[in-house]
Amino acid sequence: MVERIYLTGFMTSGKSTIGPILANVLGWNFYDLDKVIEGKHEKSVVEIFEEFGEEYFRNYETETLEKLSTEKDTIISLGGGTLTSERNLAILKQTGKIVYLRITAETIYHRLKHKIDRPLIRDLVLNERPREEFIERINKILDERKYYYEKADIILDTDNNKIGITVDQLASEMRKLLHAHNQG
């Protein structure tokens, strides 16, 4: 039985936007991992990184993931880096199906270039660095993460897709998966 679907992908790939819509379409519950972490701390991800450091955030992320991975009929939007450790990957693989929303570095750049709420890119925005530096940073992180992202059960290229199309595609893929499992 598929009881959980995890949405992964780089920052701004649409995980947090698509997650609740897909959950609504399937009649499932929805959690946004970053929002759960922010709620517990009553602080933003940027504040948590600044006050406690990235390692603390990553450990808390794993703990929160462990808890959420027991919820049934649930869509969970992960953070862009959640999938990228062997431990987290094992939790995700054992407890659900992973969907990777893939977008190009160029699209990521356009979506991120004015955003100051992402600790891994924020310095470039605040210092008004040129496009080349954004692309370089984005490609470096993408290269490091490619191995993990490509472990997903479903990969959807969502660059030019409208949200409605992506949700339709995903809902139909999910029904196939749920159907196959119910029959098996």
State the burial class of residue 120 (Cβ atoms within 10 Å of its Cβ: 0-12, 13-18, 19+).
middle
Residues in the chain: 184
Site string for ligand S3P, 18-57 (x = CB under 6 A): ----------------x----------x------------
Pairing, β 29-32 against β 154-157: unpaired
Residues 51-110 that bind ligand S3P (CB under 6 A): 79-81
Nearer to ligand S3P, 41 or 177 (CB): 41
Per-residue mark of binding to ligand S3P, 121-160 (x: CB under 6 A): ----------------------------------------
* Residue 153 CA to its chain's centroid (Å): 14
HSE toward the beta carbon, residue 77, CA cutoff 13 A: 22
CB of 74 to ligand S3P, least distance (A): 17
Residue 106 or 176: the one with the smaller Cβ distance to ligand S3P is 106
Are 68 and 60 in contact by the 8 Å Cβ rule? The answer is no
Beta strands (DSSP E) in 9-159 are 29-32, 74-77, 97-102, 154-157
Q: Give the range of 88-96, 117-125, 159-167, 168-176 binding ligand S3P by CB under 6 A.
A: 117-125
What is the nearest approach in angstroms of ligand S3P to the Cβ of residue 61?
Answer: 7
Contact residues toward ligand S3P (CB under 6 A) are: 11, 15-16, 34, 45, 79-81, 118-120
